[in-house]
Amino acid sequence: MILLQGDGAPLDIHPSHLSQQKKNNWVPIKTSKLVPRESKEMISSTNDYNRFCHVFDPVFKWQKLIVSFLVQCVYFHIYSHVQMERIHPNISAQISPWITQLPLNARLPAFPWSGVVLNANIATRAHRDIGDDNYCMVLVTSECKGGDLVFHELGLILAARNGDATVFRSAELTHYNLDFQGTRGSLVFHSDKAGKRWAEDANGWAENAFFS
């Protein structure tokens, strides 16, 4: 999610009357980019999205309950209990604290996460999710041989199986899953770093006379 920032924009002009320079041309800004919004994939596949939410609704409710108890977690046994409390206090409150401040009081199916991705038969390459904020959670939703979750810096391989959930800092840890045999599926719940600025000052538009 990329939001159009309002830093330096006139405070007494409606955003729809503003333009921005692109190369050698001035073009009207897209007001749809001023606020958090649905992804292109969701908009273009509304029926599929609604079916997806209906089928996985019990899972979304289950994960919400589980996440609500993540006041502390075992961080791969690297830190002592005292260090754990200092470095990872109340994980559930850090996931997407801005999620309750969405326009029109919108509520997301995978609350408190701002997004969820369904992976089907995918073995990812080593990567970090730099757009994520703090944590993500990978929930395995199938049985297969292999497909273990790898954390490069930690030198750890997790043999996660159907129903296992792993919470970790996806923007800081290089991770991927190994090749597999059979059918592999997973749900990836994630937060969005762009939401922080929205909570602070509506991404720079909060002082605009027409923005409320």
pLDDT in tens, 13-23: 888 888 887 87
Please, what is the average pLDDT of the chain?
Answer: 80
Q: Judge whether 107 and 161 are in contact, CB under 8 Å.
A: no
pLDDT tens per residue across span 162-188: 888 888 889 899 999 898 898 888 999
- Cα distance between residue 121 and residue 182, in whole Å: 8
User: Each residue of 119-168: pLDDT tens digit?
Assistant: 989 888 999 998 888 788 899 988 888 888 999 998 989 888 888 888 88
Q: Give me the domains of the chain, ranges plus CATH numbers.
A: 38-200 (2.60.120.10)
Return the number of other C-beta atoms located less than 10 Å from residue 151's C-beta.
Answer: 17
The model's pTM: 0.77
Instruction: Please report, for residues 14, 27, 34, 103, 118, the alpha-carbon distance to residue 212 in angstroms, rounded to integers and kept in the order given.
Output: 11, 24, 12, 9, 34
